[in-house]
Structure 1
């Protein structure tokens, strides 16, 4: 059964909080922003934590790996949960559950307890899958890529904002309220956890699963297949080679983004002799592109799709990923700082556009297993980050490691051509679009006219 009532407009209705589709969009990107904020909130406080708990470099490394690795499993599970229970319950449950380890890390008194808390906090990274799932079922094919990319891109900003916001929160507790540093970092994390808890409750009361209502009600009215029909959806997704191709592709863009976020500041400091502050500013050029770059990737995916169908979306994905790989290889060979920053920005642009382009394709692979597919592809990003991290373990020069990564990304771009759609699926996507546009026109005479059948 196909969900009806999907939104065909986003920007013109941006302020229409009376519409469930717009409420879901705003709450999903803000929830994801908060999740990223809490996920990496401890990172800028690590100098204080390291000194208090006496952590070694190796122990710190294990906490970083744990926080990223556990997300792979969490994303696989949460995709199935979205298919079965709906995104509203999945997001509320995830936020409420993860609020406790976010607050609980403040109780850590040793490496072991800190590692366990860091591991559990990593589960919050599964929020990406719910964000993409919720916007996928709320928006029509003409802008589902745009909605997915924007919600994810704005959410990713949380990882950058926390780098300067958490030290401010820490300073508030220490400087203004007079707590010790040992207590200050703990209270800062408790504050982040409390906000997670509150937003989890708000998500339950202010959103709904689909345009026409919640999954439980839709199933009771016969408008949505029974929950038992979700059995086997994960297996169904695993059997589709296109899903694994997209997972590798996402590893080559989002996985690379996570890797660059971890190494960029040190790379500029070591290879260009920059101080920590200026190196951080240079590295920030990469992350801040999320404000618009990922949205552009989704928008171009939608535009290509309107003109050339699903094949057009895949073609754009190849272009973005191929350009990302070439730009990364160029960046790795730069020795003049201004040119290095310029190529970093170009690389970042295509890297994040490739992420948006990926999830402009995902909603069309198999609607019956959308959650499982989103989970597998999303998990691919974290697998990519973990795998790429081994290149920076000290065995080879970092510029060489970046060159190798660029070459691998370029090769991975050709996997886009393994994502093919039958003529029947092309026509189904076009008919879905026409149906949503027609319903929109009936509700609003200013809605856009139907698009021609793509070639």
Structure 2
């Protein structure tokens, strides 16, 4: 690795390395809490005598609130700072996790699972925090380590919680295992608040001029922002439909229509608020120094839809896919083979960030999205006649491009507009969840092969979009309330 982009992760005396370790572990815990239920679902189902439909409903509820949560948390981070928001999220999630662990009815279980989708917004917070501590030539690598190592929390939960539940023993072993993760999360929230800082000593934490909506620099960008909000509401409407009689039958059709009306009202209010705040901002005139390209934000949203959206969808179906495709596999072996996809996060995301720092943001993203399109096309060709080792290798190669692509997206996001990094990261992150909802909905209607082909085809749309992306170069400017101008280097590649 070039000395310009490499990081010595063992230099704990370096405040920025200490901050990186503090932050990725916070993200690791959020993912462990978010997916703590997954490896213990059979025990939960047995203890509470749940139907298969109720279990499927829990999986949908788990991701439902994450879409709006990432947008809201992104705004809060930019306004209040990551230290306070990450600590608060960890502590609140701890109580929700413990509540889920000791729920005795399906209703309370479902409510806690729905609320725990909020913890999935933790990712956005660290993106802003890491970007404050690392210069442009290292930020991609640092964000990749943060995302990749933190994302591993779900795999770590899958590998350790069943053994912990067995160690506790009895019918309630799963409860104590999940509660333990919650306790650890809450304690770490206090540790994080004590040790973390928003910026290096002497640095300024830039905040957006106005809050309540993402600020844009032109009327065209305002229309684009409003259009880009629509898919997020449609995805939530789709989730409401999947929980209704047409899906897993958690509630009545009347309740589904009530949700749709509620979503429509919120969308109208959100659009009005976005228009009002930005119209006022644009009429005042946006100084040249404060402008940024919203086109970059839109392209990265589309790229994250294809990368993280497909990862979330594939990780949730891959064990069953292997089990049903290859004869002679048992659930444990199928789960182990499928875990290779998530396991790649440890290396792939950091590599995507490092490639971006070293060889250029746009070029790296083009290569990664082209690679994942080919990878998913190859996965669509897999059938029971394939040698299983080759199938696993194809899956892992595909996952490398998927996760390196995620790393490349978030190597770019902190370089668009520093004071709005939380909001931009929140919107891109939400688009990842929208992608998962869309892909999993497609899967409920088609075969596994067609599902993989659909992802490959949608990735090609993302590939075309990335060709229109601009490489960050020179500096971006942030203007303080007193009129002082600060410039931040964003690179030259």
- What TM-score do you get using the length of structure 2 for normalisation? 0.78
Q: 1:94·1:124 contact (CA, 8 Å) conserved in 2?
A: yes
Q: 2:413·2:424 contact (CA, 8 Å) conserved in 1?
A: yes
Give CA deviations for 1:375-412 in whole Å, capped at 9, x if unaligned. Answer: 0011111111111101221x221112111211211222
Aligned to 2:433: 382
Deviation at 1:334, TM superposition (A): 2.0
Please give the residue correspondences for 1:1-40 in structure 2 after superposition, counting only pairs within 5 Å: 11-12=7-8, 14-40=9-35
Aligned to 1:325: 373
Matched, 1:160 2:149: no
Q: 1:20·1:207 contact (CA, 8 Å) conserved in 2?
A: no
Please give the residue correspondences for 1:67-216 in structure 2 after superposition, counting only pairs within 5 Å: 67-174=62-169, 180-181=170-171, 183-212=172-201
Aligned to 2:342: 287
Which whole-Å CA distance do the structure 1 matches of 2:4 and 2:135 have between them?
Answer: 5
Match of 1:362 among 413, 431, 448: 413
Aligned to 1:420: 470
1:129–1:271 Cα change, 3 Å: same
Relative to structure 2, which stretch is displaced further, 146-155 or 407-416? 407-416
Deviation at 1:317, TM superposition (A): 0.6
Matched, 1:229 2:209: yes
Unaligned runs of 5+ in 2: 226-293, 478-486
1:332–1:36 Cα change, 3 Å: same
Relative to structure 2, which stretch is displaced further, 235-244 or 367-376? 235-244
1:209–1:331 Cα change, 3 Å: same
Deviation at 1:15, TM superposition (A): 2.8
Aligned to 2:458: 408
Q: 1:135·1:148 contact (CA, 8 Å) conserved in 2?
A: yes
Deviation at 1:419, TM superposition (A): 2.6
Q: 2:58·2:113 contact (CA, 8 Å) conserved in 1?
A: yes
Deviation at 1:8, TM superposition (A): 7.2
Q: 1:233·1:369 contact (CA, 8 Å) conserved in 2?
A: no
Give CA deviations for 1:52-100 in whole Å, capped at 9, x if unaligned. Answer: 2122222212211111121111111111111111110110010011110
Deviation at 1:211, TM superposition (A): 0.9
Which whole-Å CA distance do the structure 1 matches of 2:492 and 2:118 have between them?
Answer: 41
Deviation at 1:232, TM superposition (A): 5.6
Which whole-Å CA distance do the structure 2 matches of 1:186 and 1:48 have between them?
Answer: 9
Which whole-Å CA distance do the structure 1 matches of 2:431 and 2:160 have between them?
Answer: 29
Which whole-Å CA distance do the structure 1 matches of 2:336 and 2:186 have between them?
Answer: 32
Match of 2:304 among 250, 253, 266: 250
Q: Could you say what secondary structure the match of 2:36 adopts? A: coil
Give CA deviations for 1:248-307 in whole Å, capped at 9, x if unaligned. Answer: 2101011111111111111111111222122112111211111111111000000123xx
Q: 1:255·1:381 contact (CA, 8 Å) conserved in 2?
A: yes
1:153–1:391 Cα change, 3 Å: same
Aligned to 1:259: 313
Give CA deviations for 1:202-228 in whole Å, capped at 9, x if unaligned. Answer: 110011000126xxxx7xxxx455x67
Matched, 1:399 2:443: no
Unaligned runs of 5+ in 1: 1-6, 175-179, 306-312, 438-450
Deviation at 1:185, TM superposition (A): 1.6
Q: 2:74·2:423 contact (CA, 8 Å) conserved in 1?
A: yes
Which whole-Å CA distance do the structure 2 matches of 1:10 and 1:316 have between them?
Answer: 17
What is the aligned residue count? 404
Aligned to 2:424: 373
Which whole-Å CA distance do the structure 1 matches of 2:212 and 2:161 have between them?
Answer: 42
Give CA deviations for 1:93-136 in whole Å, capped at 9, x if unaligned. Answer: 10011110101112312211101110111111111101211111
1:207–1:343 Cα change, 3 Å: same
Q: 1:328·1:402 contact (CA, 8 Å) conserved in 2?
A: yes
Give CA deviations for 1:308-335 in whole Å, capped at 9, x if unaligned. Answer: xxxxx11211211111011110111023
Match of 2:53 among 28, 51, 58: 58
Q: Could you say what secondary structure the match of 1:428 adopts? A: strand
Q: 2:86·2:189 contact (CA, 8 Å) conserved in 1?
A: yes
